Amino acid sequence: MTDLTQATRYPRRVRNALRFRTLTVRRVERISACFQRVALGGDALEGFSSCGFDDHTKLFFPPPGHDFTPPTVTDDGIEWGEGVRPPSRDYTPLYDAARHELVYDFFIHDGGVASQWALAANVGDSLTVGGPRGSLVVPEDYAWQLYVCDESGMPALRRRLEALRALPTPPQVKAIVTVGDAAWQDYLADCGFAIDWVVGHSASAVAARLAALSVPQQDYFLWITGEGEAVKSLVTRYEAQGVDPQLLRYQAYWHRK
């Protein structure tokens, strides 16, 4: 399935100088049944860059009443200083250049340290953000594109679909999204593309939807994220089919305990 003519259209990696920024909450709003949006700003946001739709930034959540001094970046690496390092989670940055704000959409669920923080966040609160250290810049004009994710990947998918929708000629997009509740579909209601929803987190149901699709011989891109074991099982089928590994982007966004 590899076409060597695509060599110049492979995704490319971009490196960023690692920075840790302490930003201030500007807005908090519930934008869907399952996502809480927190918009951040401040002078420390100057120079922020995120070139990849599924970039990862690390967010730090110190316990209430505990201050957190961000680490410093030196020629020898990251120096964390003294004290207990707070819990951290990786989240997709949604940078709004017009407002010069950094936005995060938090999936609200029981037991999540980031989810709990987002629910309790108020204007004026602080949040320390690290990265992104690098980006994978994926061309937007592949003729056929496939995206597979669960709730954890929906913000990255939303960012990607908004960019694709703005193209003069949007590509053919297949998006399969598995969610725990049908009400959560509203987060992508205005994305501009049809979503094939799987309610109930059934890996076999997702696999069946994929089995009905045929990847073209050329000019394609595949993106698969979600729970680790589920991602592994889905990716195996495409590796066996000979999909070009440089056009298959996959990552475990979380692992079942």
CB-count burial class (<10 Å; 0-12, 13-18, 19+) for 138 = buried
Pairwise CA distance, residues 184 & 167, whole Å: 27
The domain total for the chain is 2
Same domain flag for 119 and 154: no
* 218 Cβ neighbours under 8 A, 6+ residues apart: 3, 5, 6
Instruction: Return the bridge partners of 224, or none.
Output: 148, 250
Calculate ∠ Cα 110-177-131, nearest 5°.
65
Same domain flag for 130 and 143: no
pLDDT at 8: 54
Instruction: Give the mean pLDDT of the chain.
Output: 93
Residue 162 belongs to what domain range?
A: 138-254
Q: Any alpha helices (H) in the chain, and if so which ranges?
A: 113-120, 154-165, 203-211, 228-241
Same domain flag for 56 and 30: yes
Q: Which residue has the tokens 């996959």?
A: 250
pLDDT digits (tens, 9 = 90+) for 87-128: 999 999 999 888 899 999 999 998 889 999 999 999 999 999
pLDDT digits (tens, 9 = 90+) for 172-191: 999 999 999 999 999 999 99
pLDDT at 4: 45
Q: Is residue 35 part of a domain?
A: yes
Whether this prediction's pTM lies above 0.85 is answered by yes
* 116 Cβ neighbours under 8 A, 6+ residues apart: none
pLDDT digits (tens, 9 = 90+) for 33-52: 999 999 999 999 999 999 99
Q: Is residue 127 part of a domain?
A: yes
